[in-house]
C-alpha cells in the first residue's frame, strides 16, 4: 500500500510539473511575436456579418456599424452615432463645367466586383498577419513616422531629413473649416517596399511642433502598409504631430464610419493612363458647425463618416492651414535619389493626360461656404525631382499640376 501511495504521489508530482511546464509554455507563446500578432489581429478585425473577397486578394468584412474599431476609444463607449451631418457646405463647384478637360467617373473600388455590404454595416479591409509582420513594430503598425510638409521652414541642408519630399499647394493666414479637391488617380512606381507615394489634402491646426493636429485624405501606393502596389483610398489623423495618436484608415479608434459602400484602404479602380483615359476622385472634409465633428465625403454621393471633435485640440476650433498635393518617401538607397514616382511620374509642364493634377480646390469659410482659396502658395523641396505649377481658369477653377519621376540626370 505504501508503495502504491508513493507511486501515486510521484504521478501527481509529474502531473503538476507537466501542468506548470504547459502554463509556462502558454505564457511564453502569448509573449512571442506570433502570440502578440494574434491578439493584435483580434483587436483590429471585428466579427463580420458578411465577408467579401476582392479580386486583388483583399477581404472586406462587413462589420455592424456599432462594432467598428472607433468604439474601442474610451470616449466613444457610449457614443450615439451621428448618421448624417447637420450641414453640408454651400457653394459646391459645378463639376459639369469641367466637360472636355476632366476625368471620367471611376468604378470607385475594386472589391465591389465581389458584392456589397448590407445596411447597418460598414466595410473594413481585413488586416492580415503578413501586414503586421511587414511593420517596423506592431505598436507602430498603421502609423506615420513623419511630419506634414511645412512650406514655411525649409533648411536647404536638410532637404531629405526624414526621407520625405513634397510638391504641394497651400493656403494659410485665415481660419478654415474644411477643404475640397478633385484629384486624378494614378499608379506611381515605387522603388523600395518601404517607400510610398501619395496624393492628398491636409487639414492642419496648431504649430509644426509636437502639438500639430492633422486630418488627411487621398490616394496612396504603399507596399509596406498594404503588401502590394495598388492605388488605394486612405485617411489619416493625428493630434500630436504623429507621435502617439492617430492612424491610417480605421486601424485604431477615432474615425466613425457610417457608409456601407466605401472601404478605407481599399483599391480604387480604374486609374488614369499616360495619354489615355483620366479618372478622378473628389474628396471634401468639413467641420459641422453644430456638432463640431469633422466630416468626410467621397465623390458626390458618399458621406463616409466623421472624426469626433474631442480627438483634437486646435482643430476643435478651426484649421490654420490647408495643403493639397503629393508626397513620396526618398530612402536614398546607396546614396542616390529614389526613382519612386510622384503622381503620374511626369513633370507638371507635360499637362493634361500626362501629368497629375488637383482641380477645383476650395476651402470652407466661417459661414460654411465653399469658396476659391486666396493667396495660394506652392512648395517643393527639389523641383528638379518633383515640381508643382498652379493656375486658374473657368473650367477647373483653382488647380495645379504636380509630380515627377524622382531620380534622373537632373535629380541624381
Instruction: Name the residues annotated as catalytic.
Output: 216, 327
Determine contact, residues 158/363, Cβ cutoff 8 Å: no
For residue 156, give the C-alpha cell: 536647404
CA Rg value for the chain: 24
Among 384, 410, 386, which Cα is nearest to 400's? 386
Q: Is 353 exposed, middle or buried (0-12, 13-18, 19+ CB in 10 A)?
A: middle
* Cα 192 to the center of its chain, rounded Å: 19
Q: Count of CB atoms within 10 A of residue 245's CB?
A: 16
Q: Do β-strands 356-364 and 370-371 pair in parallel, antiparallel, or remain unpaired? A: antiparallel
Amino acid at each position: 500500500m505504501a508503495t502504491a501511495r508513493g507511486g501515486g504521489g510521484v504521478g501527481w508530482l509529474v502531473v503538476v510539473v507537466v501542468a506548470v511546464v504547459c502554463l509556462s509554455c502558454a505564457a511564453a507563446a502569448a509573449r512571442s511575436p506570433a502570440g502578440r500578432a494574434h491578439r493584435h489581429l483580434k483587436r483590429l478585425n471585428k466579427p463580420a456579418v458578411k465577408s467579401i473577397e476582392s479580386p486583388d486578394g483583399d477581404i472586406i468584412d462587413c462589420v455592424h456599424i456599432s462594432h467598428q474599431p472607433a468604439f474601442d476609444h474610451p470616449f466613444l463607449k457610449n457614443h450615439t452615432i451621428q448618421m448624417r451631418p447637420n450641414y453640408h457646405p454651400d457653394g459646391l463647384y459645378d463639376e459639369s463645367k469641367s466637360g472636355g478637360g476632366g476625368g471620367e467617373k471611376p468604378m470607385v473600388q475594386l472589391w465591389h466586383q465581389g458584392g456589397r455590404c448590407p445596411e447597418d454595416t460598414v466595410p473594413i479591409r481585413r488586416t492580415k498577419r503578413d501586414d503586421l509582420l511587414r511593420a517596423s513594430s506592431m505598436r507602430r503598425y498603421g502609423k506615420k513616422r513623419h511630419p506634414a510638409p511645412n512650406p514655411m521652414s525649409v533648411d536647404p541642408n536638410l532637404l531629405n531629413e526624414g526621407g520625405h519630399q513634397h510638391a504641394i499647394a497651400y493656403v494659410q493666414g485665415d481660419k478654415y473649416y474644411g477643404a475640397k479637391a478633385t484629384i486624378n488617380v494614378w499608379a506611381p512606381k515605387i522603388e523600395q517596399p518601404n517607400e510610398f507615394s501619395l496624393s492628398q489634402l491636409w487639414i492642419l491646426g496648431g504649430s509644426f511642433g509636437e502639438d500639430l493636429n492633422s486630418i488627411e485624405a487621398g490616394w496612396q501606393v504603399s507596399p509596406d502598409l498594404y503588401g502590394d502596389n495598388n492605388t488605394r483610398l486612405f485617411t489619416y489623423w493625428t493630434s500630436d504631430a504623429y507621435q502617439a495618436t492617430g492612424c491610417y484608415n480605421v486601424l485604431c479608434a477615432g474615425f466613425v464610419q457610417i457608409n456601407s459602400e466605401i472601404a478605407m484602404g481599399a483599391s480604387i479602380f480604374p486609374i488614369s493612363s499616360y495619354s489615355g483615359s483620366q479618372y478622378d476622385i473628389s474628396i471634401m472634409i468639413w467641420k459641422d458647425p453644430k456638432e463640431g465633428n469633422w466630416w468626410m465625403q467621397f465623390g458626390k454621393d458618399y458621406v463616409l463618416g466623421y472624426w469626433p471633435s474631442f480627438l483634437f485640440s486646435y482643430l476643435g476650433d478651426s484649421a490654420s492651414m490647408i495643403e493639397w498635393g503629393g508626397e513620396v518617401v526618398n530612402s536614398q538607397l546607396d546614396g542616390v535619389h529614389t526613382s519612386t514616382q510622384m503622381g503620374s511620374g511626369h513633370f507638371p509642364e507635360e499637362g493634361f493626360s500626362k501629368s497629375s493634377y488637383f482641380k477645383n480646390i476650395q476651402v470652407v469659410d466661417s459661414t460654411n461656404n465653399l469658396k476659391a482659396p486666396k493667396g495660394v502658395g506652392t512648395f517643393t523641396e527639389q523641383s528638379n525631382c518633383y515640381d508643382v505649377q498652379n493656375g486658374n481658369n473657368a473650367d477647373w477653377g483653382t488647380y495645379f499640376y504636380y509630380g515627377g519621376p524622382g531620380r534622373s540626370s537632373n535629380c541624381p
